[in-house]
Structure 1
Amino acid sequence: MSLTRRQFATASAAALAAPFVIPAAASRTAAAQTPGPAIGEAARSFPRLHSILVQRGDEMVFAEALRGPGLDRTANIKSCSKSLVALLLGIAIDRGEVPGVDARLAEVAPRLVPDDAEAEVAQITLQDLVTMRAGLGATSGREYGAWVNSRDWVSYALRRPVVGEPGGRMIYSTGSSHVLGAALAVAAGESLLDQARNRLGDPLGIEIPAWTRDPQGYYMGGNQMALTPRAMLRVAMLMRDGGVFDGRQVVSRAWVDASAEPRTQSPWSGLGYGYGWFVSDSGYLIARGYGGQVIAAHRARNLAVAITSDPAQPARSQGYFGDLMAFLDGPILEA
């Protein structure tokens, strides 16, 4: 049974205190000076966790593959892909390929909009897509299978029933991110794969393998990308450092700042949601993928974190993902 966040925090605090020097005050001092052992012991309490890297500034605090393919082999980052697509949107805006987040999908990529789509679809903006507020029925969860088995993923997503106003409540839907990715491919005249490699992979010095494409040839815009844990950490460092990596402004600071501003709230986790990134009350920017894949940055604490987990098991907000949040807010944040 998964622990609640409060239970995990209590249990991990008790477990972590034991190996250090007594009394308790000395234990806390030792843990603060050497956070690696505390992080390692907490990480080993998760049987589903594959790897974790924690970097504070330029110092690698902890890096270990407890199980799984290792730190230098690719892992499916699942819906963390959505956060990378959001970064590509910011870069496309910086390059002038799309006019801005307020641009309507029908203006940026008119050929993607089905002729028989509901009238509300004409009002959907790129901001609505990147913040999961398109107002259309979801293509995730129980609807995911029917969507990916359809003959036209973009058309299927845009033909979903209207269940809210564009720009209204958050409706988590991989189809929205996929439509955004297809729109970027149309606007830039470059596939999403090439954009990911040229605009993120090259400046970050990471490999981005080809991933799933839809029947029309558009690379999937919200799932199935693969990165090594070390590459995930570099994405976290990019967000932590205001879009800069190795002295180069890869994504504008204005876009990173805008991504960190909650525009809506997840009905499941309660986390805020900005431009493709979840925002925690404790100050993390988080990319979250099925099974417990996490790319996290804490700008105030100068932390970058990458976590991979068993991709075959769900990580619910009140289950394993909630436990990972307690881990981020506990031993990791204390680093």
Structure 2
Amino acid sequence: MFKGLPLFLLLLLSVTAQAENWPTEEWSQRPTPTSTALQALEDYAFAPRDDTTRQGIRTDALLVIRDGQLIYERYAGPTTAQTPHLTWSISKSLMATVLGVAFGEDLFKLDEPVAQFYPPLARHPTITMADLLHWASGLDWQEDYEYAPLKSSVVAMLYTRGHDDMAQFTANHSSYSAPGQAFRYSSGDSNLLSAALKSRLGAARYADYPWTALFEPLGIRSAVWESDATGTFVASSYAYMTARDLARVGLLMARGGRWGERQLLPKAWVDFNLQPFEHFQAGQDAVVPGGHWWLNRSADPRLKPWPDAPPDTFAALGHWGQALYVIPSANLVIVRYADDRDGSYDHDQLLKRALAAFSGTVQP
């Protein structure tokens, strides 16, 4: 019936006829493809481990979404599809996504000095929202963990003298660099973003904002987000979510901030998230910082943290192996929850195996 139509119209009809898959209350599912490549992925992700020593890789959950449909899911240990798992620093990217909705409401601008609406930063008057999102506040912060607790800013913030008011604790640090000129990964920067959002919204609206702005529109039901004693969400560390719900955030980002017919995040915000920070230098971290997301590309084409994954791969990453990988060119979203303690887990190895197992053409 399309005889005689121009080729470009035929192509347009073909594209529009292929309806996008979006999750409703549940993800639509396709059978898991079986292959030697899938076995290789499982052998890596779910290798036997002696939990008495906590040595080796321990995957708690591995979930794969392709073209908006759930095609693979496996859990281990006490974790199930209904378990809101601690995401650790994936919380940072979740806060960036919540902030994207606020950005779309014109509640702040990227170049706006945070001290204008968060007074504890008055001694650092030129730090902007973009600086915090790039982990480039210039504050003298030590992101050491349990391996060096005595000099760790983040351990002090989360567990000792800073835990009542984490943003204030961060704001009290001195500077080591001009804002925006140097990357230094900082959980404190993330909690300053959370406090800045609270100042912009007011405490009453802020208390529900992650849910009303992001989680409810995406159909996320499992989210739990701890706050400090001031009622400020611990954006650095303490969001919990099921693997299936976290994958919804990945699909939102994979599709440029759009959820169904609604542009939930402004395109300019997603573009900012996925733009490499210009002052990042090789060796400063294992991956490349964007706007509170981690990228597989940089301004230096020689720097590709995960060589077996496409350059458009990006991720939200957390302590002990938590990961939300988004690979737009392969139509893949991958969630991994874990309890890796010895540093043996390798992102590139999992991505290489996942791409081999799942990046084939989707069957009708």
- The TM-score bracket by the shorter chain reads 0.7 to 0.9
CA shift for structure 1 position 251 = 1.3
> Quick check: 1:79–1:223 contact (8 Å CA) kept in 2?
yes
Q: 1:230 to 1:247 in 2, by over 3 A?
A: same
Distance 1:36 1:253 in 2: 35
| CA shift for structure 1 position 71 | 1.9
Q: Residues 140 and 272 (structure 1 numbering): CA distance in 2 closer, same or farther, change over 3 Å?
A: same
Instruction: State how many pairs are aligned.
Output: 291
Give the match for residue 320 of structure 2: 291
In structure 1, distance between residues paired with 2:336 and 2:166 = 29
Tell me the alpha carbon deviations over residues 189-217 of structure 1, each in whole angstroms, 9 at most, x when there is no partner.
25555221111111110125443222322
Q: CA 1:101–1:208 in 2, change beyond 3 Å: closer, same or farther? A: farther
Change (3 A) 1:123 1:44: same
Aligned partner of 1:162 among 154, 163, 175: 175
Worse overlay, 75-84 or 34-43: 34-43
SS of aligned partner of 1:51: strand
* In structure 2, C-alpha distance between the alignment counterparts of 1:38 and 1:58, rounded to whole Å: 24
User: Is residue 193–residue 210 contact of structure 1 (8 Å, CA) maintained in 2?
Assistant: no
- Tell me which residue corresponds to 2:188: 175
- Name the SS for the 1:300 alignment partner: helix
Partner of 1:58: 68
2:323/2:335 contact within 8 Å kept? yes
Q: Deviations for 1:221-243, whole angstroms, at most 9, x for unmatched residues?
A: 21110000111111111111111
For 1:81, the aligned partner's letter is: S
1:327 to 347, 350, 356: 350
What letter corresponds to residue 112 of structure 1 in structure 2?
P
Divergent runs of 4+, >6 A: 31-34
Contact 2:101 2:214 in 1 (8 A): no
2:288 pairs with 1:275: no
One-letter amino acid of the counterpart of residue 111, structure 1: P
Q: C-alpha displacement at 1:72, in angstroms?
A: 1.9
Tell me the equivalent position of 1:4.
Answer: none
> Which residue number corresponds to residue 223 of structure 1?
237
Aligned-partner Cα distance in 2 for 1:83–1:137: 22
SS in 2 for 1:295: strand
- The answer to whether the 8 Å contact 2:63/2:244 transfers is yes
Distance in 1 (alpha carbons) for counterparts of 2:325 and 2:74: 17
Task: Report deviation, 1:159.
Answer: 1.5
CA RMSD of aligned residues (A): 2.3
C-alpha distance in 2, partners of 1:56/1:35? Answer: 16
Q: Show the counterpart of 2:42.
A: 40
Segments of structure 2 that go 5 or more residues without pairing to the other structure are: 1-32, 48-55, 145-151, 297-303, 305-309, 360-364
Secondary structure of 1:262's match? coil
The residue number in structure 2 matching 1:201 is 215
Q: Which structure shows the higher helix fraction?
A: 1
Amino acid of the structure 1 residue aligned with 2:136: R
Offset of residue 113 of structure 1: 2.5
Separation of aligned partners in 1, 2:291 and 2:165: 25
Distance in structure 2 (CA, Å) of the matches to 1:267 and 1:169? 13
How do 1:206-285 residues align onto structure 2 when only pairs under 5 Å count? 206-263=220-277, 264-265=279-280, 267-280=283-296, 281=304, 282=310, 283-285=312-314
Partner secondary structure for residue 333 of structure 1: helix
CA contact (8 A) 1:51 1:68 kept: no
Secondary structure of the structure 2 residue equivalent to 1:68: coil
Question: Which residue does the alignment assign to 1:303?
Answer: 332
Matched, 1:140 2:166: no
**CA distance in 2 between partners of 1:101 and 1:309 (Å):** 33
**What is the distance in 1 between the residues matched to 2:207 and 2:348?**
30
Query: 1:144 is aligned with what amino acid?
Result: V
Kept after mapping to 2: 8 A contact 1:261/1:274: yes
Is the Cα contact below 8 Å between 1:135 and 1:169 reproduced in 2? Answer: yes
Q: Is the 8 A contact 1:36 1:61 kept in 2?
A: no
Query: How far apart are the structure 2 equivalents of 1:122 and 1:229?
Result: 39
1:76-95 aligned at under 5 Å gives the runs: 76-95=86-105
Residues 202, 224 of structure 1: alpha-carbon distance in 2 compared, 3 angstrom cutoff = same
Paired AA for residue 110 in structure 2: V
**Higher mean displacement: 201-210 or 131-140:** 201-210
Q: CA deviation at 1:219?
A: 1.6
Q: What CA deviation, in whole Å up to 9, does each residue of 1:125-172 have, x standing for no partner?
A: 000001100000225322222223225322220121211110012111
Q: Is the Cα–Cα contact under 8 Å of residues 139 and 157 in structure 1 kept in the other structure?
A: no
Note the C-alpha offset of 1:245. Answer: 2.3
